Homo-oligomer: A and B are copies of this chain.
Amino acid sequence: VSRSGTLELLVRKLDTHLRLSADERRAILGLPSTVRTLQAGQELSRDGEQPSHCTLVLSGFLCRSRTLLEGKRQILSLHLPGDVPDLDGLHLKSDLSLAALTRSEVVLIPHPALHELCAKFPALAGALWRESLADAAILRERVVMGRRSARARVAHFLCELMARLQAAGLSDGRTGPMPLSQIELADATGLTNVHVNRTLQDLRGEKLIMLSGAKLTVLDWPGLAKVGEFDPTYLGLRRAPSSGPEERDAAPRWTVSHG
């Protein structure tokens, strides 16, 4: 079942905050795993199901969402390569559905194997726990943003996206992929697609961003961060795995750490 190299991403992720021992590293790489490819829009797990595995994103973008009574959709979280979106499934059944926003590759890791890993290496359990807490911190930020204006919400979302892209090595901090359509962006920010459109035009008009197709460029980082009241502290980022040597003034170069 296992293929070589696919779990390397998980090792790197956990190694960011906690220095892994050789034993721990081996244990992670030895986890049973199944690689799976998802088409854009494909659902990996539905609303009420009880999954028996966790999902590690290898490439592409996934999101967890919930469908409201009136048919609207709320996107709760966005997940990049290196993330484990359904980590909470280890201990809780969740009422969210997990779906691919773009064509994606994921690795499925059975729950029992992860439970054994946690029992054998308490430090790894702590590291995984920490990851789920980081998700919760993002959620808290989203609750706070729910009170702010549409401009702030959209700007904040874009800031967070860029910051996480950079931390994942998928962006230089100024330009990167923007995997959401305006409709999906509306589902994520709690706005209407119509209003998201107008808001994006605002931000474009003020020369804060460029956004066309699936590519986002931040023209004025301080300006955008100010509009979105964005303070990256809550993300707990530490270091971009592969940061270019180039450092422009406009590009964020946070090295927040804590714990």
Contact = CB atoms under 8 A, between A and B. Distances in A.
Interface of A: 50, 66, 68-69, 72, 74, 76, 88, 90-96, 115, 118-119, 122-123, 125-126, 129-130, 132-137, 139-140, 142-144, 146-147, 190, 229, 233-234, 236, 258-259
Given A72-B147, A122-B122, A91 B140 contact: no
A143 B144 contact: no
A50 B229 CA distance: 23
Contact of A147 (B115, B126, B130, B190): B190
A27 B135 CA distance: 30
A92 B125 contact: no
B229 A69 contact: yes
A183 to B, nearest CB: 15
Contact of A92 (B74, B139, B259): B259
A92 B137 contact: yes
A212 to B, nearest CB: 28
A133 B134 contact: no
Contacts of A234: 95
Nearest to A128: B129
A83 to B, nearest CB: 15
A125 B123 CA distance: 10
A-B residue pairs, 7 tightest by C-beta: A146-B146, A136-B136, A91-B130, A119-B122, A93-B258, A139-B139, A147-B190
Contact of A236 (B74, B92, B130): B92
13 contacts: A74-B147, A92-B133, A92-B258, A93-B258, A118-B126, A125-B126, A129-B132, A132-B132, A136-B139, A139-B143, A142-B143, A146-B146, A146-B190
The residue in A92, A94, A259 that gathers the most chain B C-beta atoms within 10 A of its C-beta is A92
B95 A233 contact: yes
Contact of A136 (B119, B130, B132): B132
Contacts of A92: 130, 133-134, 137, 236, 258-259
A143 to B, nearest CB: 5
Contacts of A142: 143
Contact of A143 (B74, B91, B129, B130): B74
Nearest to A96: B140
B144 A66 contact: yes
A118 B69 CA distance: 40
A146 B140 CA distance: 12
Contacts of A118: 122, 125-126
